[in-house]
Amino acid sequence: MSDSYGVITKVKQKKISELLIQDKRLDGRGLEDYRDIKVETGLIERAAGSARVSLGKTKVMVGVKVETGAPFPDTPEEGVLTVNVELVPLASPTFEPGAPNEDSIELARVVDRGIRESKAIDTKNLCIIPKKKVFVVFVDIYVLDHDGNLFDSSALASILALATSKMKDYTVDEETGELEYKSNEISLPIQNYPIEVTMAKIDDKLLVDPSLDEEDVIDAQITIAIGKNDEICAIQKSRPGAFTVDEISQAVTLATKKAKELRERFLNGGKDE
């Protein structure tokens, strides 16, 4: 919440509602428009992959690190994906240092679900020694400036960072099980390019990519992750509020369309490069 006394929010709410009657928004966008999106990749040399996404004034950076570790007992032949979100205090007056709160946990888990359920990473390809040693892919999301819609900006930065990640090629010493790294680099095994699309419901209208001003007055919100074959991979309804079945249907149609557009623009349409 940008306004702790609620007065500005009430004024904004009125203005947002007035504009919505004509399908207009505070910043001049149409209901289905994203704010300007800028992406950069390969910014952090020490990371396997990195990306910075600006969605309007929202800025998110993602770094990918790849390390070795033990697999989960129920998937002994698969690598491990770990998604973490830091809502660092420099990004908003409402973010406080300390343990992750429910907002950052939800954000991390929804981004995780999009990547995991779309099988974006071929985790079977990250197994080194079954039951013993696999690659662990850490996706660390760093929110730098919070001006709304952290879900879509974080998800886009995450898949961009993963898709551009490089790790050293390796061989495994059969006796010791130790890795011997070679001089060349290989890409991570990426096989799907999920895009998350968030829509807000305000006054019974659906708005794509809510800004912070809009988030302050939202009734309910829905985030839908769509894979490269238009399949639905993950959904999260969020915020206290409700959707009708018709609105959900509209949201799925809209998400499918917007996901395709973003994938064309930033991920080569999901075709492996």
Partner 1 sequence: MEPEKKYELINEQGLRLDNRKFDDLRPIKIDVGVLERANGSAYIEWGKNKILVAVYGPRDAHPRHLALEDRTLFRCRYHMAPFSTEERKNPAPSRREVELSKVIRESLEPVVFTELYPRTGIDVFIEVLESEGGTRCASITAASLALADAGIPIRDMVVACAAGKVNGQVVLDLSDIEDQKGDADLPVAIIPRTGEVTLLQMDGNLTREEFDKALNLAIEGCKKIYAMQKEALKKKYVEAKEDVEAEAEEAAGEADKE
Minimum CB–partner distance for residue 144 and partner 1 (Å):
23
CA angle (234, 133, 122) in 5-degree steps? 35
> Which residue's CB is nearer to partner 1, number 49 or number 227?
227
Minimum CB–partner distance for residue 8 and partner 1 (Å):
16
> Which residue's CB is nearer to partner 1, number 145 or number 219?
219
Distances (CA, A) of 79 to 26, 116, 182, 188: 45, 11, 20, 11
The reply on whether position 105 binds partner 1 by CB under 8 A is yes
The reply on whether position 109 binds partner 1 by CB under 8 A is yes
Q: Cβ atoms within 10 A of the Cβ of 87, count? A: 22
Stretch of residues binding partner 1 (CB under 8 A), selected from 48-56, 134-142, 153-161, 232-240: 232-240
Among 232, 250, 257, 260, binds partner 1 (CB under 8 A): 232
SS3 for 26-74, per residue? CCCCCCCCCCCEEEEECCCCCCCEEEEEEECCEEEEEEEEEEEECCCCC
Rounded Cα distance between 204 and 96, Å, is 33
C-alpha 21, offset from chain centre: 31
Stretch of residues binding partner 1 (CB under 8 A), selected from 27-35, 58-66, 111-119, 158-166: 111-119
| 240 φψ region: left (φ > 0), alpha (ψ -120 to 50), beta (else) | beta
- Count of residues that interact with partner 1, criterion CB under 8 A: 32
Among 16, 157, 199, 233, binds partner 1 (CB under 8 A): 233
Among 52, 59, 65, 113, binds partner 1 (CB under 8 A): 113
144, 95 contact by CB (below 8 A)? no
| Residue ranges in contact with partner 1 by CB under 8 A | 100, 102, 105-106, 108-109, 113, 116-118, 222, 227, 230-245, 248-249, 252, 256
